[in-house]
């Protein structure tokens, strides 16, 4: 299939079958894509940053690492990664985070609101949106534990490829926040290969 485009400040929802490879592409560079994965068989099973940190024993996930669910199953394995800098600590931007971090800007529903709409056809409610795997997001943690959000190191055409271990519902965004992408809003592309 040819690449599909997620327009700036929006999201897509789709099914990814067991064995298929999802490639997330940053077509212009310096952009973030929040990624969620739920079990199609029972969407109460969802990716979990804590279970992933438990089993992978790192907060810095790249090629070879797996994304685990709240039920301790592997949902996705990272098979290729041209960037090597992603985040699994922070939640999707939302109306509340816009009010908190950007009081000088108009409020936007953010990745959280975009994901809620994209996932609604599968009966997934907003409260069931956990921390997303934030592709290309650059969140350094200093030696005292302080976190900051700085522009991604991704360049135009960089990508991340993930293999599904079971049939999944995927939600993915082109991020809406100012800090995560250096103040610009850009599209995200994706492709599904068998």
Site for a copy of itself, rule CB under 8 A:
44-45, 48-51, 53-55, 57-60, 70-72, 89-91, 94, 96-97, 100, 125, 127, 129-131, 141, 143-148
55 burial (CB, 10 Å; 0-12 / 13-18 / 19+) is middle
Handedness of CA 108, 109, 115, 118 (dihedral sign): negative
Residue 112 contacts residue 92 (beta carbons within 8 Å): yes
CB nearer a copy of itself, residue 18 or residue 96: 96
Handedness of CA 162, 57, 155, 14 (dihedral sign): positive
Smallest separation, CB 191 to a copy of itself (Å)? 28
Smallest separation, CB 149 to a copy of itself (Å)? 9
To the nearest 10°, report the CA torsion of 156, 66, 40, 109: -50
Smallest separation, CB 166 to a copy of itself (Å)? 16
To the nearest 10°, report the CA torsion of 38, 173, 150, 137: 40
Smallest separation, CB 49 to a copy of itself (Å)? 7
CB nearer a copy of itself, residue 19 or residue 50: 50
Residues whose CB is less than 8 angstroms from the CB of residue 162 and which lie 6 or more positions away in sequence, other chains included: 21, 22, 23, 24, 35, 67, 76, 77, 78, 79
Smallest separation, CB 138 to a copy of itself (Å)? 13
CB nearer a copy of itself, residue 11 or residue 61: 61
CB nearer a copy of itself, residue 48 or residue 189: 48
CB nearer a copy of itself, residue 97 or residue 114: 97
């Amino acid at each position: 299939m040819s690449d599909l485009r997620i327009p700036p400040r929006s999201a897509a929802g789709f099914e990814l079958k067991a064995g298929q490879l999802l490639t997330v592409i940053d077509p212009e560079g310096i952009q973030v894509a929040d990624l969620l994965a739920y079990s199609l068989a029972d969407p109460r099973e969802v990716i979990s940053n804590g279970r992933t940190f438990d089993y992978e024993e790192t907060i810095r996930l790249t090629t070879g690492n797996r994304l685990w669910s709240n039920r301790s199953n592997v949902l996705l394995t990272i098979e290729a990664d041209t960037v090597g800098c992603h985040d699994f600590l922070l939640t999707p931007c939302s109306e509340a985070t816009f009010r908190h971090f950007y009081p000088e800007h108009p409020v936007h529903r953010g990745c959280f609101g975009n994901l809620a709409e994209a996932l609604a056809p599968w009966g997934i409610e907003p409260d069931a949106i956990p921390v997303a795997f934030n592709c290309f997001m650059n969140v350094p943690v200093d030696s005292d534990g302080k976190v900051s959000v700085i522009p991604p190191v991704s360049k135009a055409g960089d990508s991340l490829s993930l293999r599904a271990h079971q049939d999944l519902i995927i939600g993915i965004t082109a991020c809406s926040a100012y800090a995560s992408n250096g103040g610009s809003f850009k599209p995200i592309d994706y492709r599904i290969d068998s």
